[in-house]
A and B are shown apart, each in its own frame.
Chain A
Amino acid sequence: MSEFTFLFRGRQTFESPEEAQKHVQQWMAWFKELGAAGHLKDPGHPLEARGKVVRGSQRLVTDGPYAEAKDVVGGYITVEAADLAHAAELSKGCPILGVGGSVEIRPIQSL
C-alpha cells in the first residue's frame, strides 16, 4: 500500500440551497465509502479561497492565488491505495467531478 494526496480543484458554487445540500450529501457519502474500505488515511482539510502568495528573493507578498475558479485548490485528503492506477480509480467517485472540478493525484514520496 502507498499513500497519495488528492488535491481537489474547483470551487463549488450552487444555484439553490437544495442543490448545495445534495452536494454535501454526495461528499459525505463518498468520504464514508472511502473510509469504510480503509482507503481514507487522513481526512485532510477544506481550504479558504483567499490567501497570500509570497514570491522570490524579495519575499514579495501578494493577495492570491486568484487562479480561475476551476483551478483553485479547495481542499485535500490523503488516501491509501495499492498503486497510482488504483488511487486514480478511487478518485472517480469524487463529487467535484460532477461540477466541473478535478482531482489531482500525487503519490507521497516514501523515504
Chain B
Amino acid sequence: MDVAEHLFRHEWGRLVAALTRAFGAHNLPLAEDVAQEALCRAMETWSYRGVPANPQAWLMTTARNCALDVLRRERTVRTFGQELQRYMLSEWTIGPAVEALFADHAVKDDLLRMMFSCCEPRLPEESQLALILNILCGFSVDEVAAALLAGRAAVTKRIVRAKRTLRQSGGLFSLEARSGFAARLPVVLRALYLLFNEGYHGASRTSVIRTELCGEAMRLAALLLDHPVGAAPETYALSALMCLNAARLPGRIDALGELQTLEHQDRSSWDPGLLAEGLALLGRSAWGTNASQYHIEAAIAACHTTATSLAGTDWRKIVQLYDALLRIAPSPAAALSRAIAVAQIEGPQRGLTEIAAIAGRERLAAYPFYEAAMAELELRCGRHAAARRHFGAAVALARNPAERVFLERRARACGGHSPRADS
C-alpha cells in the first residue's frame, strides 16, 4: 500500500492540535517536538514494514505514547493543559487520562479548534496565514516562504511572533461558546479566502507549492462544513467560490505552463466535477439573510463557468453582481473587474472611462493586471502605442516569471518592439 498524497503534511496538523490540547497552549513547542517524534517513528517503521492499515490512527496512537513518556518524565517540572493537570499528581492516573484525551471522539475537533486559534484577531492577516500553513498544514518555514512568495527571514520572524501570541493566549479557542465562535468565524473564512487566492493567482507550472495552497484552503473549508456551527451560509459560499475557481485552474495554465486569458482558455479543460460541486455548494449557501462577499463572488464565478464562451457570457448580470459586491466590500480591484465587464457590453472606450473613474485607483498602481487591463482596452480601441506603453508598465510590475511571460506575449500582440522590462 502506498502512502496517501500529503498524508504526513495533513496529519501533522491533527497531531500538533491534539498534543497542544493535552500539553496546554503554552507548551506548543513541546507539542511540535512530539509530533515530529511520531513522524520519525512512522518514517522508520513504515520504511521497513509498509504502511499500516489505518495510518492516521497509527500516527495518533504513536503520538499518544510519545506524549505519555514526556508527561511521565516531566510531570514534576512543567504544568500541562487544564484537562490533564489534575491527573498529573499520580503516576497511576496519567495513563487513563491520556488515553481518554486521545480517544477518537476527543481528537475529532482538534484541527478546527487549532484553526480558530491561529486566526487570533490580534494577529495580522499575513501572520494568521503563515501560522495556518505551518501548524495546520505542516509546511516548513521554507515551504511557507515559497508558498507566500516571502523571504525566509521575514516568514521566520512572523511565525515566531505569532506562536508567542498563541502560547500566551491562555488556551486554545473553545468551540463550545457559540457567540465566540460566530465572532471568530469571519476571521477564519477571510484567512482561508486569502490562502486560496494566494495559490490561485500565483499558480504556475514552476511553483507547484503555490497551487497546493488552493487545495489546503479547500480542505480546511471542508472541515468547517463538517462541523454544525462551522457550516454557516458564508462557509458554503466560500467553498463554492473556491470550487468554481479551482475548477478553472487547469485552464489558466496552458500546456506550455503559461498563463492564459479567459478568452483563450480551453473551457473543456475545466474540471467538471469541481464545477458541479461548486454549483451545488452555491445552491446550499442560499439561506439566512446575509448575502456575503463570498456569495457574490461565487455567483460571478458561476456566471463565468456556466458560459460556453466569452461572447456567450452574461456580462450584464456580472456587472450587476459587481455593483452589489462594491456596495458591501468596496475595493479598487473589484471595481477594475467591473470596468472590464462593462467594456464587454459597451465597448473598450467605455471600459477605459470606467477605469479612470475608479475610486482609490492609485492603490492599483503596483498591480500588473491594472496596467494590462488598460493595455487590452487600448489595443481594442486600435491605439497600439498606448497599449504598448501600458503593457510595458505591466511587464515591469510582473510578480513572477509566469506573469512576465504572459504579459510579454500579450504585448507582442501590439506589434512593434517588445517592452521587455529587464533589457
Contact yes or no, A24 B3, CB < 8 A: yes
Contacts of A2 in B (CB 8 A): none
Contact yes or no, A17 B12, CB < 8 A: yes
Q: Which chain B residue shows the least CB distance to A46?
A: B44
Contact yes or no, A18 B47, CB < 8 A: no
Q: Would A14 and B39 be within 8 Å (CB), given that A21-B3, A25-B2, A25-B3 are in contact?
A: yes
Please tell me the number of chain B residues within 8 Å of chain A, measured between CB atoms. 25
Chain A interface size range: 20 to 34
State A56–B90 Cα separation when bound (angstroms): 40
Give min CB distance, A55 to chain B, whole Å: 27
Contacts of B44 in A (CB 8 A): 12, 46, 74-75
Contacts of A75 in B (CB 8 A): 44, 47-48
Q: Mark B74-97, 1 if CB is under 8 A from A, else 0.
A: 000000000000000000000000
Contact yes or no, B48 A18, CB < 8 A: no
State A78–B68 Cα separation when bound (angstroms): 34
State A18–B43 Cα separation when bound (angstroms): 11
Contact yes or no, B7 A21, CB < 8 A: yes
Contacts of A23 in B (CB 8 A): 43, 47
State A33–B166 Cα separation when bound (angstroms): 46
Which of these, A15, A24, A46, A77, contacts B140 with CB under 8 Å?
A15
Interface assignment of B181: CB less than 8 Å from any CB of chain A? no
* Max chain A Cβ within 10 angstroms of own Cβ: one of B43, B45, B46, B51: B43
Interface assignment of A58: CB less than 8 Å from any CB of chain B? no
Interface assignment of B9: CB less than 8 Å from any CB of chain A? yes
Q: Mark B21-62, 1 if CB is under 8 A from A, else 0.
A: 000000000000000000110111111111100000000000
State A57–B51 Cα separation when bound (angstroms): 44
Contacts of A15 in B (CB 8 A): 140, 142
Which of these, B11, B45, B51, B143, contacts A16 with CB under 8 Å?
B143
Interface assignment of B138: CB less than 8 Å from any CB of chain A? yes
State A62–B247 Cα separation when bound (angstroms): 61
Interface assignment of A53: CB less than 8 Å from any CB of chain B? no
Q: Which chain A residue shows the least CB distance to B9?
A: A17
Interface assignment of B327: CB less than 8 Å from any CB of chain A? no
Query: Which of chain A's residues 20-71 have a Cβ closer than 8 Å to chain B?
Result: 20-21, 23-25, 27-28, 31, 43-46
Interface assignment of B8: CB less than 8 Å from any CB of chain A? yes
Q: Would A12 and B43 be within 8 Å (CB), given that A18-B8, A43-B48 are in contact?
A: yes
State A23–B43 Cα separation when bound (angstroms): 7
Other A-B pairs beyond A23-B47, A24-B3, A24-B47, 13, CB < 8 Å = A15-B140, A15-B142, A16-B138, A16-B143, A17-B8, A17-B11, A18-B9, A21-B7, A24-B43, A28-B47, A44-B48, A46-B48, A77-B48
Jot down 20 A-B pairs with beta carbons below 8 A, ordered by A.
Answer: A14-B43, A16-B9, A16-B138, A16-B139, A16-B142, A18-B6, A20-B8, A20-B39, A20-B42, A21-B3, A21-B6, A21-B9, A24-B8, A27-B48, A28-B3, A28-B46, A31-B47, A43-B48, A46-B47, A46-B48
